[in-house]
Amino acid sequence: MPEARAGVEAPYAELARVYDRWTAENPYDRWAGFVEQRLKQHGARRVVDLCCGTGSMTRLLRRRGFDVTGIDGSEGMLTQARALEGEGADYLLRTLPSADLGGMYDAALCTFDSVNYMAEDGELAELLRSVANALRSGGIFIFDVNTQMKIEQIFGSSHFGDDLDDFAYVWRNRYDASTRSIEFLITLFTRNDDGSFSRGTEHHRQRWFTEDEIKAACAESGLRVVEDLDDYTERGVTAETMRRCLVLVKE
């Protein structure tokens, strides 16, 4: 993930406090259903949830009977996850793309375009190597990425904002076609216990990946694409796909 600029926080330093409100419309149940079906198909029980955030997918899969370890690079997000589930829950602080994932697993998961944060050259391949090293033979890796269309045409060089009562935000985007990357500068205004508001700004960076880039990273890591679908559905990827979901298997 990108480092903080002067006067600007690293990703999720501020967002952690309001993240579940921020993502309340995410179809986590639908995503979990898709993931559950693939885990059962491949005989997976022990799962690592990469970039687990506040643990939404981690908890859903645990309730469906899987043994899930949550991993994230933000202590603030993990603090929220532990508060929601208790200190005994299995959450680890790790920084991707290169990290010891804490064991050997049947499956790995990385949802909600977290893989797009592997924005420097070579980081996608480095991430896949880390995942492959933590998977048993025949293990699977399920992840999604924002597509070129979404990053260029939906995000682009634009800005968004909203007032959600207990917090408000201004989200400014700058797209660089030469690097296929987009910079998000998100300013949050969050309500304090005394009714006042605190202001904080975070810097995020994402990148979209070419087909050749994905194929090369998979080949280098020993992972093979077995499914390539539109947003956790059974539909194939089209020119209109905004979230691409891939299932990889370790040879």
Number of domains the chain contains? 2
Identify whether 2 is part of a domain. no
Rounded to 10 degrees, the C-alpha dihedral 30/36/37/38 comes to 110
pTM listed for this prediction: 0.94
Give residue 135's pLDDT: 98
Percent of the chain past pLDDT 70, that is, above it, reads: 96
In whole angstroms, what is the distance from residue 234 CA to residue 98 CA?
31
Mean pLDDT over residues 164-168, rounded? Answer: 91
Residues 38 and 140 in one domain: yes
Q: Are 118 and 127 in contact (CB under 8 A)?
A: yes
Rounded to 10 degrees, the C-alpha dihedral 80/124/230/26 comes to 10
Residues 78 and 109 in one domain: yes
Given pLDDT bands bounded at 50, 70 and 90, which one contains residue 7? low
Identify whether 237 is part of a domain. yes
pLDDT above 80 for 6:
no
Q: What is the mean pLDDT of the chain?
A: 94
Identify whether 10 is part of a domain. no
Question: Which residue(s) pair with 229 in the sheet?
Answer: 236, 245
The CA-atom distances, in angstroms, between 11 and each of 38, 144, 235, 242 are 30, 19, 32, 22
Identify whether 64 is part of a domain. yes
Residues 72 and 170 in one domain: no
Coil, helix or strand for 195? coil
Residue type, 102: G
The predicted-structure confidence for 80-100, as pLDDT tens digits, reads as follows 999 998 766 799 999 999 999
Burial grade of 12 (CB within 10 A; 0-12, 13-18, 19 or more): buried
Residues 37 and 95 in one domain: yes
Residues 89 and 103 in one domain: yes
Mean pLDDT over residues 33-41, rounded? Answer: 98
CATH number of the domain residue 61 falls in: 3.40.50.150
Give residue 114's pLDDT: 98
In whole angstroms, what is the distance from residue 78 CA to residue 96 CA?
15
pLDDT above 80 for 36:
yes
Give residue 192's pLDDT: 87
Given pLDDT bands bounded at 50, 70 and 90, which one contains residue 219? very high
Residues 137 and 49 in one domain: yes
Residues 236 and 122 in one domain: yes
Q: Which of 143, 168, 225, 170 is nearest to 18 (CA)?
A: 168
Identify whether 141 is part of a domain. yes
Domain with 220, as residue range(s), is 15-146+209-250
Residues 134 and 160 in one domain: no
Coil, helix or strand for 223? strand
Residues 165 and 185 in one domain: yes
Residues 45 and 155 in one domain: no
* Helices (H), ranges, 134-184: 148-149
Percent of the chain past pLDDT 90, that is, above it, reads: 88
Rounded to 10 degrees, the C-alpha dihedral 79/80/81/84 comes to 120
Identify whether 5 is part of a domain. no
Task: Quote the longest CA-to-CA distance of the chain.
Answer: 56
Give residue 8's pLDDT: 74
Residues 23 and 104 in one domain: yes
In whole angstroms, what is the distance from residue 246 CA to residue 244 CA?
7
pLDDT above 80 for 251:
yes
pLDDT above 50 for 1:
no
In whole angstroms, what is the distance from residue 118 CA to residue 208 CA?
9
Mean pLDDT over residues 18-36, rounded? Answer: 96
The CA-atom distances, in angstroms, between 247 and each of 109, 120, 157, 239 are 9, 23, 31, 19
8, two tokens: 């600007």
